[in-house]
Structure 1
Amino acid sequence: MNPVSPICLADLAPALRWSKPEPVTTESYLGHHRLGDAWWHTLPLARVLEIAGSTWLAANLARLAVEQWEHLSLREALPSLHSTPVDINEIGEPVRSAILRTAGDWDTLVDTPLTTLRAWSLPPSCGVVDVVSTVMLRVVQPFGTPGTGGTVPSPALMQEALRTVSGWVPTEAPQHVHDALNYLTDAVGSPPASEAPPPSSRAIRTLRALRNQRDEEPRTARPERSSALRGPDGSLRRPAFSPARPGGSSPEQPHPTPDVSAPYAGAAPPAEHPLVDRVDSVVRSWSAPQRLLASQRLFAAEPVSIRDLAHQYSLDVAQLRSAQRDVEDRLLRWLSSPEGAPLATHLRTVDEQLGVATTVDQLVAAHSEHTVEVPALGVPLWRVLLVLFTDRRAQDGWLITGDPGQLRWQTRQLLAGQPSMAEATMRLTQLGIRHPVAHAWIASTPGVSIRDDYVHLDSPPTAEPSPDGRTVPPVAAPAATPEPRSPTTSNGLPIRRRTEGRSQQPARVSTSAQCFRAPDGRWWHRVDVTADQLNGAPVGVPQGYAAHLGLGPGQLLCLTGPGADLIVLVWRDAPAFDSLRPLLRRLDARPGDHVFLTVDGDRLDARRLAAADVPEHPPTSRALHLIGYTAPASTEEALEIILRRISETDQTGPVEVNRVLELLERRGDSDIAGELRPALYATR
């Protein structure tokens, strides 16, 4: 097959032409952060396989067929199967055995309606998507790079296997192991966890939980806790490989399912632990769903999504979302009350004691109660404090206040001149880095090494541009002082200040810059990626968008992002994401890229549009890129699309050019208006 064939996926699968676009565009099916809207109608299939890979396409197309085209057979959905004979011995295990056990041969398989195929009794190791994705691979693979022969494995099982291995590899593994894993990820096209098919894989969650527990918990606490992979005696259990399947059962239930309708009746903490007792007492007053959210989502090492909790405990999703808001609000009110003042004071004391950079081990060791478990939550106190320190960002095992990249750069500037370790430790106190972690901080700073008890820079310090574009000259040992801390509550709780007495109502999302309504009704916010954001800086959002999500001044919203990352949107003096660094890294974002974010309940979805090739597009296409639309369109069509995406309802009738430009300028989208004007003048 010619690799530059103009055939698109809709030509190969005609069912796409009459399928509803809304479900198809989701990340569970054919949505991809590197592919544009409705790419299956316009983008050559060879180019799709170069970008996303045949494994990704086969697996996601299989899920779409099984769940949306169940009235069709595979041969009806993919007419090219009429001329695609297949030797059953070329199919890899366990799919081959599953086909022989059920269909008996290839022709019967592809001629069977999908609704019948779903009812077949398939073995536990191979589900219907695994079988169908193997068929899809045989159809799409000829449009990509020619294969090397041999048996063909199931693309869905390949993705699941790679996600399992990714969750198992520890962060301290040698670099060549991570390089090999990254190579396999690119080759297989394995998507992040947000693109994985529901239900989520229990194996992935337990593997990641074990890794986080091993990396973050103190060694003395590890034998006291068990996980889904380790028994009470510490012996390693073998995890299930396949994701949990509807109607199936998990091989083992590591923890008993709590009765979420019953009041908490656990044992109270010992009287000699006053801080733990205060936290436990307030948690005991919460409802059962609120305690469930606190223990398995807000303070958990591996936060569980609300949808998974609702499915696991047979609860209503809307009830859990409401309970989450109540938990956050009640926690904030309690910390600002006289009853919560001792913990708020403790937080301020520990925050000052740890300095601007610390490790989890230092946090654990900062107080004798930090390792004590809060009975009503089932987590140690230090995990509760870790969540409450919202001004600290986790990076490479460190908890850092402020911009991690800026702090590393300041460190290199301070350590110029080959100071002794004693002198270097004294210099770092100017930045707020305390003596107990100074040696570890220096050793972990890129471009710095310690030899013979002296600190050496691998290269002379260089100037670095500041956020406003000016060049900051290098200095040997500046008399620097830590940047002012963020606002605090009356009890000193960092960044948790609640704004009072503001009568001004926030703007609507439809009048907010960089906010656009998709055809399915969801509003997306565009983030123009900067180097500071890639280093962990907060990412501001318009007040109208925050209000659209139900957020108000002094409130925060905890969201589950791709890869089960916990992302916090907090309204301090203005609404902002505390940090999007893990998400931007997962999307492989670069400065200048556009990342579009949307929130559905407790889940944050993201899509990246690379900026590298945008200058090559005409002005109309560049304007459409700024609203997240990538399909070709004429100037008249572009005006209609933009007007619909900045309006709360679909607009009908003739589109007035001046009205669209005026709305864009009023919203603050002057960049879109600026791209449109040359195209409008050219058509007049």
Structure 2
Amino acid sequence: MNAVSPICLTDLAPALRWSKSGDVCEILRHSRLVEGWWRSVPLPRVLDIAGPTWLAHCLARLAVEQWDHLTLDEFMPTLRALSVDMDEIAEPVRGAVLATAGSWEQLVAASPGAMRDWGYPDNCGLVEVVSMVMWRTVHPFTRDSSGGPTPSPALMIEAVRTIANWMPESAPEHVRSALAYLTSATGADTADSGDEPPQSPATRAIRTLRALRANRDDEAEPAEEVSRPARSARSSPADGVNGRRPRSSLLGPGRTLRRPAFGPPKALRAELRAEAEAAAAVPAPELVRIPAALGEHPLIDLLDRLFSSWGELERAVASARLFAADPVSIRVLADQIQVEIGEIRSAQRTVEERLLQWLASPEGAPVTAHQRELSERLGVATTIDHLIGAHPDHPVEIPSLGTPLWRVVITLYTDRRLHDGWLVATDPHQLRWQTRQLVAGRPTLTEAGIRLAKLGLRPQALRAWLLSTPGVSLLDGYVVVDESVPLSPPAPSPEFAAHGAVPPEAAGSTTANGLPIRRRPSVVPPRQEPQLDVTTSPRCFRAPDGRWWHRVDVSADHLNGAPVTVPPGYATHLGLQPGRLLCLTAPGADLLVLVWRDQPAFDSLRPLLRRLSAQPGDRVFITVNGDRLDARRLPGADLTEHGPTSKALHLIGYTAPASTDEALEIIARRISEDDGALVDADHLLDLLTKRGDTDIVAELRPTLYAAH
């Protein structure tokens, strides 16, 4: 089982947990990691992205520059349980440790402040020794199971930079690719150092000097051709002094690795310094960013004007939470942009309300028209690739937001959601079950497309949809269904309506901006007017303290982010009105949005359900106090040994044992505002039936009949 460790860097280095982000971000910043990653991103994921060399070097810098008063095993407590043989450490660090600390135990028990006074050899220093220790700390979280001596990340990064700095222009492509891999693997392109940046005047001077020398070498080549035979006659390049192989300048006594003298040769430093000063005296041309021509992407221009009118905080919230593929939590975002959590919540409410108002205004009509046309073109199910390619503006980023248009399009859809890489407008399980029913009998691919068009599936998604449906395959142009692959018919879902059952649009069937109003088919009985009283709302129960709780029967769709509907009476009890939204703060500072479109529903309860460790079949009871949402999870335990009365009480969140008469009194009090109401069994069953609590009635009725 390849489980990803949830440990973050703050768990490994507790000192980071109590430090301010601004104090460590200069060292820990990485272009491919989010701000504040050390508090939220699992350590194996960080190592996959940035590499252990970069991380070990950063930790060594933190230990030496900011926490030099802490011993290494205090900075990294896991070192206390780590035993390392000195033979497992590579030279030259091994020699430096033996000459100073003497052993691994003495090394990790010392602080960098005390280690500064140690006498290090010329080929190794304090940072190199500490970075080796940090390498041993983070290495267990990597996927590398190979052995070998422990290197020094500081020396590795410096060596890669030197090779990159002195790479000749004539180097083959595969050599450059190898260097690019080393640079990325070690983090040499992101780790901070005292070296000048690649585009500095000194680097330009070095390249100029190389070109001049190359010209001189070309001019001197004929003379070398004449003298080369004489030299080759005297000696061979492989011969050393007295017939021995020449000793490498990188090898010290005992063939230990010397620390290379990184940097230009001493004879060239004065010349390079003069070249650098001359290059620095020439003013660099000012770079001017040319904006994209207006009118080239009309939808981009329209949305860019909208987002540009928002404040910086609102745009940050929209980009990181509303339109992001993987929204960050409020707490992480607050750490990243250094604002209070309350300001993030307020900004998100403002963003969502402004967006809804803008979409309902004439200015937002082109976007809503685009959404409607796109829905018709894509059909009931489409892949993300088809969505991106459906319009030339979709892959284009909105300048003021830094987010491509297709991400905004997905967020603005109210009747579609992502499921296993598909954007679907109905219950995906129901759609797959209908697909298997319609393609039974081994039809051709063309005939299957005609059948599935009744469900709203478009030709461009036909083949991919069939291959993604369990038990369906394509064989020689025919669609084959394997009935042995289980696919049980799903239960009707109130969150979705069948696409094929939507009647044609008639007068008054669209909003002012042209968005379709989803209606039920004529064969279904007309929908009753919603009851706006919480006492007559199903799955709503009053606690002894007066708060009303709503029961959510957790399903797999809810865990995947499907909308969760609530009764209109309960939404009205919370102060929500049709066309409005309510932002609530859940446990853990997660922001949940309850919006009343066609019916009141939470856009998603996935963050809350994950925090509660909910599973399909569990019952979660939610209540609201002000703008805070509280939740309790009642595990879906095996109740086969319990009587019908206990099962009925379990449905209202009551788990204590009670007799039949006591259960009736408890249920009667939980569904009414009157604590002293007289209990009549038949009247109670009628009330529960009218409310829609038929599951409670099904448990109580056999008990009451048996009692009578």
What is the TM-score with the length of structure 1 in the denominator?
A: 0.50
TM-score, structure 2 length as denominator?
Answer: 0.48
Larger Rg: 2
Say which structure, 1 or 2, has more relative contact order (CA 8 Å, 6+ apart).
1
